[in-house]
Amino acid sequence: MPDQNNRSPMPRELGYSMPAEWAPHRATWLSWPHNLETWPVQLERVREAWVQMILALSPHEKVYLLVNDDPMRQDVTLRLKTAGAVIENVRLIQIPTIDVWMRDYGPTFVVRNGPDGPLAFNDWIFNGWGGKYKAYEQDDQVTKSIAELLGVPAFVHALVLEGGAIEVNGAGICLTTEQCLLNKNRNPHLGRAELEQFLRDSLGVSQIIWLGEGVAGDDTDGHIDDIARFVDATTIVCAVEEDPKDANYAPLQENLERLQGARDALGSRFDLVTLPSPRPVLYQECRLPASYANFYIANEVVLVPVFDDPGDQKALGVLGELFPSRKAVGIRCTDVVAGLGAIHCVTQQEPLISVQGLTISSSRTYS
């Protein structure tokens, strides 16, 4: 990390913090799927899932969708108009990408109260999930392109981190996993204490809760967004597996036990709600990281991955009860998860800022 006597200020020092996902959004950021290496036979069905996400989101907030070139822009525009999206709320932006994992390589927004510069974001290093996919490291440039477009400050960090590895409640708590953040393929020069301090400083949190391992088939080394998620400041929904013979049973039970022992800053327990796991989803005999915990909380809707599984309706019911003011919308992800991710992995929220009682646009350089 930079020398403490000669370094740029961190977000927390300037009053910034990362809002909870359920805080009001101005926009959701997505990238259009195009990579045939990710989806060699599923790509058209995956694109239909993107259309369904945009149909659900566009009545309630802006959608900013990255496309590679003008032919892709024209194709996507036709698809969305044909499907009936609220097209005036959708903007297609020509920023080339290798793939769609906006949560991991895109900006992680932070906000502060005050009249001067209320919005900024963190730009940490994306190294293809621990150097597994060299070509994907090119998507590290996407956040810099978005910074130029928005004209808002970016905190550029010399540290590897993906947005799917962190989960905040907007009230000072961050969830993460040892399997990912302590993995030597990210930041081998940093220990637990140093990583905790970095999370405090970059996210504006005060407490870190560590879980253990992620779900089977997860090439991200255990991202938190397949395991446990905040649904309000004091409630955590946690994925569990009921079959003791399943590979996910023991690690998910251990994570649940850690959460049962966790306390907030005032020493209070969190309210825990369990979320079922779908039956194993396979592609070419390989286990995929299918998890209902990979949902996305947007304005007035919660997008929930479903897998043609008997557990789909139970998961939709659990999340519908947890978000009574939002509609739980199932998005078919049986094909999407063949790319080793789902809805939360491909979305990134841009907060709607309220300053001194006045709601303002968080980006003044585009509409």
Using an 8 Å Cβ cutoff, are 77 and 92 in contact? yes
Tokens of 268: 């209070």
| Catalytic entry in 180, 238, 333, 345 | 345
Cα-Cα-Cα-Cα dihedral of 209, 211, 217, 218, to 10°? 20
Say whether 345 is catalytic: yes
Q: How far is CA 321 from the centre of its chain?
A: 22
Give the max Cα distance, the chain. 57
* Contact of 32 with 58, CB cutoff 8 Å: no
Torsion angle, CA of 301/229/138/218, rounded to 10 degrees?
-120
- Cite the active site residues: 345
